[in-house]
Amino acid sequence: MGLAIATELAKCGANVTLMARDEVRLRQIIGELPTTHPGQHHHYWGFQG
């Protein structure tokens, strides 16, 4: 899933989980995703591939 799709889903109230190799970038992106609904949370999963 691309960042644009993740952002749109977050705007609609979805809880978003992203995964990628660059954990520093993931933390940055998660902090920038919109949180529009109470209880909405975003997560990331970094991995080495």
Q: Is 40 helix (H, G, I), strand (E, B) or coil?
A: coil
Spatial distance between the Cα atoms of 15 and 46, rounded to a whole number of angstroms: 17
Check: pTM over 0.85? Answer yes or no: no
48 or 26: which leads in pLDDT: 26
Going by the DSSP 8-state scheme, the letter that residue 14 receives in this structure is: -
The alpha helices in the chain, defined as continuous H runs, are 3-11, 23-32
Of the chain, the percentage scoring pLDDT greater than 70 comes to 96
1 or 25: which leads in pLDDT: 25
Picking from 1, 11, 2, 48, the residue whose alpha carbon sits closest to that of residue 33 is: 11
Structure confidence at residue 48 (pLDDT): 84
Cβ–Cβ under 8 Å, residues 9 and 36 = no
Mean pLDDT (whole number) for 23-43? 95
